[in-house]
Structure 1
Amino acid sequence: MACFGNNNEDDIVDTIRAMRIQEEKSYLCRNCYHQSTPLSPSGVAAACSPHEAVTTQTRNVLCDWANKIIDFCSLDRETVEIAMSYVDRFAASAKGKEVLQKSDRFQLLVVTALYVAIKVHETVAISTSQFEKISRNTFTSQDLESMERILLEGLEWKLHPPTSLGFVRSYMELVPSLKMSQAMKDTAFILCKVQTELAVRDSALVSARASTIAFASLLNAFEALGMSDSASGSFTVHCFVSKVANLSLVNKAVFYDQQILAPVQARLHQAIAKQTSVPAFMDASPAPQPCPMTPPSKQGAHSHKTFENTPRSIIGRSL
């Protein structure tokens, strides 16, 4: 029984290889964050002043805030992954040392990165004056514009990182619907999306390649769907893994160093382990809420919302 193939497989493979070159040459990142502030006896992280060094807890809280803003505006959470790529790569650069010493500067960096990511990758833009409102006037338009110039120079204008969810889409195109139904593919994609969103928030995965995160999330999704419980499912997974390995569509070290893939899979697995059933999880997906910045014709019944009642900004308080 031969492993499967698609008519457009060469195009898919070329796309993945191009993304792999990007991630290896231009978008690698090292983890430069301090460990999180120790928990207090109550189990709550101790607050840090605006002038304290940035910790993993600082980054996690700001990432959660960015997701809330994106959800409120009915934008794509993949944009948060792009924004945090800006943040992490800038923080690891020579110009990023200063922002890691003061949490208020790091907060400004995250807000600016989200502003730039939306402007570059979304179909709508949110102006600096609107982001000023989002930050509850903690940062001015001038602050954001100044940090934008610093950010762009620090990133050398590399604003199009291949995302883990982008790799997931391409990897899944290698599995034809004859071997895996479209409904099952859709479910697997949702499970991968949950995991990749968790990975963006997880400071321990800052230095992990997007392709590795995507590959690990897919293996977890296949397991959650019980594909190994049938001969055809096991064969499909085997062929997929073999194809990825033979065509070098993920870092080769993933296949011979268990310290690379296994820890990533373990960290991502918690994103779906809490779900009692896949259908229940899919039904529980929250409906998107329109953003006040979208054109009036798209606002519908929620057009009364303003930035005064956005998810409460963490910018105006200590972390």
Structure 2
Amino acid sequence: MVALSIATTPLEDAMLHHIDVDEISDRVAIMRIQEDTTYRVKDYLAESTGIRKLASKPVDEDCRVKMCEWCYQVVDFCKFRRETVGIGMSYLDRYLCTPKGKEALCNRKEYQLAAMTALYIAIKIHEPLEMETSLLADLSRGCYTEMEFVHMEQTILQALKWRVNGPTLLGFVAHFVALLPESVHPAIAETIFDYARYQTEIAIAEHVLVSIKPSEVALAAVLNAIEGMDVALLPLKVQGKFVRNIERFSEIFIDDVEHIQSHLSLALASLLSGDVSEIIAAVTDIESEGEYVDDKSITAYNRRNSPVSVVQRNRQTSVV
């Protein structure tokens, strides 16, 4: 029988344990190599303008916003880590950069299937609970069958060459926050982390940030977080030391991310003021006809089912 163990994620490891600064530097260096090579993402919408013009309803930036919101509803309902949405969207972005994935940019139904499946893969790999394809079929209100999700899973994994453990926005945030001076109270560090994490959740829905390296977006979020702190709680001298630590051990400089900071600040301000109600409203259908997934599907599923624990499932079905 296969033994099951639930290991901590790099995020949990960074937040729950004291890590030597040299180890942080080594980790960040490897993560940056990964984001520059294997896990690099291009602006696939800009590169596919020609073929998308031929489609009657091509995928656009709003499609991403709606699917991100739907994904967050799913993980909140299932009590999964919100970071898993970012991982799933990373799979989707990289898939859409491949020749096979570009086909989905001309077909919103195909794009939605790919987005839902990418989240399913992320949950399957990174969560202790199992999301069955029957759940996805239910949430799609019959728009997709279980086998369509199975086939799309195979297609995505093959297109990604099974490379599914890249660096995440929140992973970078956690390692950067771990570079705070020891004099900073843990509660302050947690507040900085939470504020930066919230900004990363906003960033994931922003297509304009897709092609920007996760390390740079993460640094921008952390800088916005510390700049929003009361100087009585986080003195300017301490802030300066923290920034120097990040620049020294990550080799990323604040001047390089100022424009990202501004974008995140504007996105956050718009969100809080209600100017972009589509982002905070319940997910509506990508298609105007309303034949695709929405939040009502999640509510209906909630009344009938619940996620299955992998541990519990393993007891029911042994793998020899």
Q: Which category describes the TM-score, using the shorter chain as reference length?
A: 0.7 to 0.9
The equivalent of 1:165 in structure 2 is 170
Task: Call closer, same or farther: CA 1:57–1:271 in 2, change over 3 Å.
Answer: closer
Task: Call closer, same or farther: CA 1:174–1:82 in 2, change over 3 Å.
Answer: same
CA distance, structure 1, for counterparts of residue 261 and residue 191 of structure 2: 18
Root mean square deviation of aligned Cα? 2.8
The equivalent of 2:161 in structure 1 is 156
Q: TM-score, normalised by structure 1?
A: 0.74
1:137 is displaced (CA, Å) by 1.5
Cα deviation, 1:230-289, whole Å, max 9, x if unaligned, reads 8x7222222222222233x154xx5555xxx1221012124655779xxxxxxxxxxxx9
The equivalent of 2:27 in structure 1 is 15
The equivalent of 1:113 in structure 2 is 118
Structure 2 unaligned blocks of 5 or more? 1-17, 48-54, 274-298, 313-320
Q: Which moved more, 1:92-101 or 1:216-225?
A: 92-101
Whether 2:104 is the aligned partner of 1:99: answer: yes
1:136 is displaced (CA, Å) by 1.4
Whether 2:263 is the aligned partner of 1:267: answer: yes
Task: Check the 8 A contact 1:126/1:293 in 2, yes or no.
Answer: yes
Aligned with 1:76: secondary structure? coil
Task: Check the 8 A contact 1:108/1:144 in 2, yes or no.
Answer: yes
CA distance, structure 1, for counterparts of residue 98 and residue 222 of structure 2: 31
Aligned with 2:105: secondary structure? coil
Task: Check the 8 A contact 2:91/2:164 in 1, yes or no.
Answer: yes
Task: Check the 8 A contact 1:20/1:250 in 2, yes or no.
Answer: no
CA distance, structure 1, for counterparts of residue 19 and residue 122 of structure 2: 34
The equivalent of 2:132 in structure 1 is 127
Amino acid at match of 1:292: S
Task: Check the 8 A contact 2:89/2:204 in 1, yes or no.
Answer: yes
The equivalent of 1:223 in structure 2 is 227
Task: Call closer, same or farther: CA 1:56–1:275 in 2, change over 3 Å.
Answer: closer
**Following TM superposition, where does structure 1 have runs of at least 4 consecutive aligned residues deviating by more than 3 angstroms?**
254-257, 270-276
CA distance, structure 2, for counterparts of residue 145 and residue 294 of structure 1: 18
Q: After superposition, where does 1:1-319 map in structure 2 within 5 Å?
A: 8-33=20-45, 52-178=57-183, 180-227=184-231, 233-247=235-249, 249-251=250-252, 254-255=253-254, 257=256, 261-270=257-266, 273=269, 292-295=306-309
CA distance, structure 1, for counterparts of residue 212 and residue 251 of structure 2: 12
Amino acid at match of 1:201: A
| Identity level (%) | 33
CA distance, structure 1, for counterparts of residue 179 and residue 107 of structure 2: 45
Task: Check the 8 A contact 1:54/1:103 in 2, yes or no.
Answer: yes
Task: Give the number of equivalent residue pairs.
Answer: 258
1:219 is displaced (CA, Å) by 0.6
CA distance, structure 2, for counterparts of residue 51 and residue 126 of structure 1: 33
More helix by share: 2
Task: Check the 8 A contact 1:84/1:113 in 2, yes or no.
Answer: yes
1:51 is displaced (CA, Å) by 5.6
Task: Call closer, same or farther: CA 1:78–1:201 in 2, change over 3 Å.
Answer: same
